[in-house]
Chains A and B, each alone.
Chain A
Amino acid sequence: MSCIRVLIVDDEPLTRTSLADFLQEMGYTVVMAEGGEIAIHLQQEQAFDVCIVDIRMPGMSGVETLLALHRITPQSRYLVYTGSPQFVLSPALENIGITESDVIRKPLPDMSIFVERIETLLDLGTSRMDV
């Protein structure tokens, strides 16, 4: 388990750290980025298994960040974590394999959904690699 690496991209420090705290408790290796630029820098250094990206951020937006991260490491899996009720998946995001079930909306009554989604994404990835 400890080998699964998760990147959290969120401009809100408390959201970022609280989610990081939770995922670390769940046994993942977690790295935090407060914006898209830092996230890209980190992805270039070490490919993450899963990236959790906030949509509404100052500077580089979440969508731009997701597309850039995918270009660097296409095999990474992505989760959108947004508090914006108006958010809808754009065709660009669907093209890189993000589906409605990969969108997690704030606030989340039960954080364990993150664990379920990450495991589903990685199981899928594993079975593909097996084939």
Chain B
Amino acid sequence: MNQKRILVIDDEVLIRRALAEYLSECGYDTVTAGDGAEGLATAHAQHFDAVLVDLRMPRVDGLEVVATLKAEQPELPVVVVSGTGVLHDVIEAMRCGAWDYVTKPVHDMEEIAVIIDRVLDRAGLIAERDRYQQELEQLNRSLEATVARQTADLRFQNRELTALNHIISAANTTLDPVEILRVLCTELALALSLPHAIATLIEPDSTTTAIVAEYRRFERLSALGDSTSLTQPALAQVLQQQSPLFIEDAQADARLGEWCATMRARETAALLLAPVVVRGRVMSILGLETSSYRTYSDRDMALIVNAAAAAGQALETLSLQRELRLHADTLEATVAQRTAELSVALKQAQAADEAKSQFLSSVSHELRTPLTSILLYLELIGRGKADNQQRYLDSVAREVERLQVLIESLLDLSRLDLGKTTPQLQNINLNGLLLTLAVDRDRLFTERGLHLHLETTADLPEISADPKLLEQVATNLLTNALNYTPPGGHVWLSTANSTADGVPWVTFTVRDTGPGIAPEEQAQLFQRFYRGAAAYKSKSSGTGLGLAISQNIVALHRGRIALESAVGQGSAFTVWLPCDA
């Protein structure tokens, strides 16, 4: 325990000495001063634990000492010594800051010791209280600082989370990558209090990049649309290292190349470049611009990297969604197309099936009719009247012949359908072929009271064709004319050079003065087993297959059959054959 130091100030030597001695005996380290001025100087120069001061002193009196010490060292206990009967002095001293008082003459020195002890205790308590208070205040301050720091941390983390959340959720509300980059710029600028944030978009295999999104404060010039080369050293470095790059002096750094001028124009001081990576490829470069120099803390950098990564994820989600949608669309289109194709194929198959059963039904009907007659006459030949036998035999022969023709025709058609009929091509003169035919048939026409005329074109070129097949066609057409033209009528067989589709053709025409064919019948005339109204009116026994066979044969020669007819005006069937055949 340190010895307490007491300063005794009194102008009376005896009293001063007596007090000092007594207090020294009590265990205090005592220093004396002879007047107020000396006392103050001593108090200034040294440390004391208490001061004992006489009130009535020349020059600087005790009250002044009390007031001065109170002002300078309020924690220093000052006890005044006052003469008896001047109580107002004591009151004044207490008011000026004295801690306690002693009255003279001092009868019992112990009183002084008690008072000194008391003020020392009080001073100790006050000092302790002050110390505690200081400690408390300090503790309070550090606590406040900690809370403030943690609050700032939390606020920043919250801002970061909000920013990341906005960026990631942007992928769910938009299909536009530019919109996601715009959200990234906005969130980073707001989180880091930046005046301007830009983002470029880098297309695959592109050598340049353009700014497609930005966030800017109103005072900043827009950077949208600015484009720059990816060979610019700063961008090239970000592209290659896929990590952020801080450019301290954006207006002069050589790595920015031509962009320095742009930075000057936009009054950008510092620039931080950061890549947005999607599936290993830098899809965008982010530029954080500030108008004055600033640094980025580790926490700032973490936020930037995390936000760029979130944007990368959002863009990836987007591109996956796009791909998925594209695949879905393609798939849908493919399915629709396949369905349509299948539907067409099914309809064709059904139509073919129906045509086939229709054909079989017709064939069976056409075969049964003569067969019925034959059976019937065979029965009559056995049991009928003798006079009629010859007629029955004739009928059987006629029906058998009809069956034979029908079966031959069916076989012809079947061979044509199966592609088993190979035309035996040779160079032929159509005029000669038709002349032979006309001469052969002339008698038949004359017997029916008809006139057959042959009108050939002299300079007809030879064509490559199967003469037997063409003869079959001409015969079919002539037979139809023969069957359907009323007696007294005319039939013309003619040849011609014609042109169609810009190429030369050779044609032959069978024209008659028959009843003509109604337009609605013309379309069906070439169908198998179709027989026009005229077939029923005339007594002719056609098979309904002649025109179908003829059309197939002509098609085999890459030609076609044209029909020109009107009811009451006769009919003209023209066979077109290509010259180069």
Q: Which chain A residues have a beta carbon within 8 Å of chain B's beta carbons?
A: 11-15, 17-19, 21-22, 25, 34-35, 56, 58-59, 83-86, 106-111
Contact = CB atoms under 8 A, between A and B. Distances in A.
Contact of B536 (A21, A59, A83): A59
A22 B379 contact: yes
B477 to A, nearest CB: 22
Interface stretch (B94-102, B307-315, B384-392): B384-392
Given A21-B377, A21-B388, A111-B375, A14 B541 contact: yes
A85 B380 CA distance: 26
Contacts of B392: 21
B398 interface: yes
B441 to A, nearest CB: 23
Q: Secondary structure of the A side of the interface? A: loop
Given A14-B398, A107-B372, A84 B380 contact: no
B365 A21 contact: no
A117 B345 CA distance: 49
A92 B151 CA distance: 99
A14 B365 CA distance: 14
B90 to A, nearest CB: 146
A22 B380 contact: yes
Contacts of A14: 369-370, 373, 395, 398-399, 402, 541
Given A25-B383, A59-B536, A108 B388 contact: no
Contacts of A17: 395
Interface centre among B376, B383, B392, B399 (most CB of A within 10 A): B376
Contacts of B399: 14
Contacts of B391: 21
Contacts of B352: none
Given A14-B369, A108-B372, 20 more contacts: A11-B536, A14-B395, A14-B398, A15-B373, A18-B377, A18-B380, A21-B384, A21-B392, A22-B379, A22-B384, A25-B383, A35-B536, A56-B365, A59-B533, A83-B364, A86-B361, A107-B368, A107-B372, A108-B376, A111-B375
Contact of B372 (A59, A83, A84, A85): A83
Contacts of B384: 21-22, 25
Interface in B530-560: 533, 536, 539, 541
Interface in B350-374: 361, 364-365, 368-373
Contacts of B369: 12, 14-15, 83, 106-107
23 contacts: A12-B369, A13-B539, A14-B369, A14-B399, A15-B373, A18-B372, A18-B376, A18-B380, A19-B376, A21-B376, A21-B377, A22-B376, A22-B380, A25-B384, A25-B388, A83-B364, A84-B361, A85-B364, A106-B369, A106-B372, A108-B372, A109-B375, A111-B379
Contacts of A56: 365
A85 B361 contact: yes
B541 A107 contact: no
Which 5 residue pairs spanning A and B have beta carbons closest together? A107-B372, A18-B373, A25-B384, A18-B376, A107-B368
Contacts of A15: 369, 372-373
Contacts of B379: 22, 110-111
Contacts of B377: 18, 21
Contacts of A107: 368-369, 371-372, 375
Nearest to A114: B376
Contacts of A13: 539, 541
Which of A13, A22, A107 has most chain B Cβ within 10 Å?
A107
Contacts of B398: 14
Contacts of A11: 536
Contacts of A19: 376
Nearest to B392: A21
Contacts of A21: 376-377, 380, 384, 388, 391-392, 395
A25 B539 contact: no
Contacts of A18: 372-373, 376-377, 380, 395
Contact of A83 (B368, B385, B395): B368
Nearest to B536: A58
Interface string B143-167: 0000000000000000000000000
A108 B375 contact: yes
Nearest to B391: A21
Nearest to B532: A58
Nearest to A11: B536
A2 to B, nearest CB: 14
Nearest to B379: A111
A83 B365 contact: yes
A106 to B, nearest CB: 5
A2 B376 CA distance: 21
Contacts of A108: 372, 375-376
B533 A111 contact: no
Contacts of A58: 533, 536
A16 to B, nearest CB: 9
Contacts of B365: 56, 83-84
Contacts of B364: 83, 85
Contacts of B375: 107-109, 111
Contacts of B373: 14-15, 18
Contact of B385 (A25, A84, A86): A25
Nearest to B383: A25
A63 B365 CA distance: 18
A25 B365 CA distance: 26
A69 B372 CA distance: 25
A15 to B, nearest CB: 6
A19 B374 CA distance: 11
Contacts of A25: 380, 383-385, 388
